[in-house]
A and B are shown apart, each in its own frame.
Chain A
Amino acid sequence: MKNNILKSTILIFVLLIQIFFNEYFVILGIKPDLILITLLIMALYAQPIFLLLMAFILGLMQDWFMLTPLIGLSPLLKTIFAYIIIKFTQNFRLYPNIFLFTINILLILLYFILYNWISLSTSRLSFTEILIQNSLPEFLYTGVLFIIFNFLILYYNKNRE
Chain B
Amino acid sequence: MDTILVFIAALAAGTVTGLVPGLGIFAALVIAYVWLMTLDPFQVVMFYLVAMSVSQYFGSVASTIFAIPGEVSSIPALKEGHALFKRGLGNKAIMYAATGSFIASICAVLISLIAFSNIDFFYKLFDSHVQAVILVGTSALIILGSRNKLYINLLLFGLGFFLSYIGYHTNSGETFATFGISQLYGGIPLIPVVIALIVVPEILSSYRQSIEKNKKDVILSFDSYKKTFWDLRNYKGTLTRSTIIGYIAGFIPGMTFVAGTSIAYYVEKIIQRRKKQYVDNQGNIPCLIAAETANNAGVYSQMLPLLLAGIPITASEALVYEMIESRGIDPSNNFFAPMIGLLTVAFILSSIWGLFTAGKYANLINSIITKIDFKYVYLGVAVVMLGVNFIAGSGMYAEWYYMLVLLGLLPIGVILRKCDMMPCLFAFVLSYPIESSFRRIIAIHFGIV
- Are A and B associated in one complex? no
Q: Footprint of A on B, CB under 8 Å?
A: none
Q: Footprint of B on A, CB under 8 Å?
A: none
